Amino acid sequence: MPCNQTNYARYNNPLTLVDVSPGAPQQHAVPCLFISDSPELIPNLSQLYYTGGGNETLTNTLAKAAIPIISGNAELIRVFVWHLNMGTSNITIQLIASTASNTGATVSNFRREVQTGTNFASIGLCLSKVQLFQSFGSPIPVSGTLSQTERVLLSQSIAPGELVGALIEFSVTSFTATTLQLRTAANRSSSIAGSWNDPCADEDVIVNPPDKQFVHNRGWFTYSQFAMPCGSFDVNSDLTGPEQGSSGFGPGAVLGPCAGEKGNKGCYRGNLYYEVTLTNSNSSKSQQGFVALMARNVGAAFFGASRIISPSGYPEKGVASLVFSDPNANPPDGNINYAVLTVDAQGDPLPISVPANGQVTVKVGVAIGGAATAPVQLLFARRSFSAIPPGSGGTS
């Protein structure tokens, strides 16, 4: 199974720590990222409008991306689709591809994970695991070449009240420079809905919490993987050290063909690779370091996947919902707000040992399953966090 990894145990402890402001991602890498998550809520197709210029125009197109393909390069593409059928009839969500010129572009290493249903959190958690751990099934052959004539790469029917979540990765190669034209569309059948030149449907605006308005992500981004250097932490200290999360990343170098594109503040569907140096100023004995993920106070829960990549020996696991816990709440809010990553496959403590006067470089991978802004930060500590006696369990 592509997403059968277990989840980290989660705990509640309103630690009195500074909520660290997020920093900017540093080094970045492909794949390009195309997100189709707005309008997230698909009404009856007779109500799917584009209202630019003050005129209402019916459209089937949800999102579009025009991605430059350099001659001779294999451009790696990641597509994330997330749409909920709010209508009264079955609809089909499609991923449609074409090229701006007939250059004979080919698709290879086409891999996908598609989930449907009404358990939205479970779907999002599964896709986060596939994304970070690359646990797709076998590649699906895509025969023929791309051309100016559109072709369907994905077609998925969903019933009223159902959501489709899909993560797709593939490479596109062309021996002449061209533009890859990707779009998602909603239709009542498996035939191609509309055309590349159709406008994108209006975005849906969500107000959550009531004083913060945001729009679900839509558009394409040049990169989706980021290195996040986080400095050092002395495990000989009695302090607990919060390390910064990410402030997000911007759209492609050239804005895509949908209105309203904006920076991806929550690094939605990006992979973050944090690096921190654990040092030990004690000259006579080794010390243990512990690593955790903790929810930030941004008005949105965190869910996703994570793994300590270096040192080796740590498992791949998902992270179910983490919600900020206010240390000043009276009575305590009881929110489940952090997960400890320094555990073995069974969930028992497995701290990182730092030799006397030595250091260990720790690399942590995190996939953010969804949020309006960076919802999580890393914590480092000399001792196991106080709410976790050795060998105890938590909420998974």
* 3-class SS of residue 121: helix
* 3-class SS of residue 4: coil
**Distance between CA 84 and CA 308 in Å, rounded?**
33
In contact, 10 and 125? CB cutoff 8 Å: no
- The series of mean pLDDT values per 10 residues for the chain, 396 residues long, is 88 63 66 90 83 79 92 93 93 96 92 95 93 93 92 96 96 94 93 92 62 66 83 78 62 56 74 88 91 81 92 95 84 87 92 95 88 70 56 47
pLDDT value for 223: 84
Q: For 210-226, what is each residue's pLDDT tens digit?
A: 444 455 788 888 888 88
In contact, 289 and 233? CB cutoff 8 Å: yes
pLDDT value for 391: 35
Q: Which residues contact 136 (CB under 8 A, 6 or more apart)?
A: 2, 111, 112, 113, 130, 169
- CA separation (Å) from 361 to 232, 269, 290, 354? 9, 25, 13, 10
pLDDT value for 232: 83
Q: For 129-175, what is each residue's pLDDT tens digit?
A: 999 999 998 899 888 899 999 999 999 999 999 999 999 999 999 98
In contact, 31 and 78? CB cutoff 8 Å: yes
**Distance between CA 279 and CA 235 in Å, rounded?**
6
What's the predicted TM-score (pTM) here? 0.90
pLDDT value for 14: 56
In contact, 276 and 362? CB cutoff 8 Å: yes
Which residue in 127, 101, 62 sits closest to 368, CA to CA?
A: 127
pLDDT value for 206: 53
- What is the amino acid identity at position 330? N
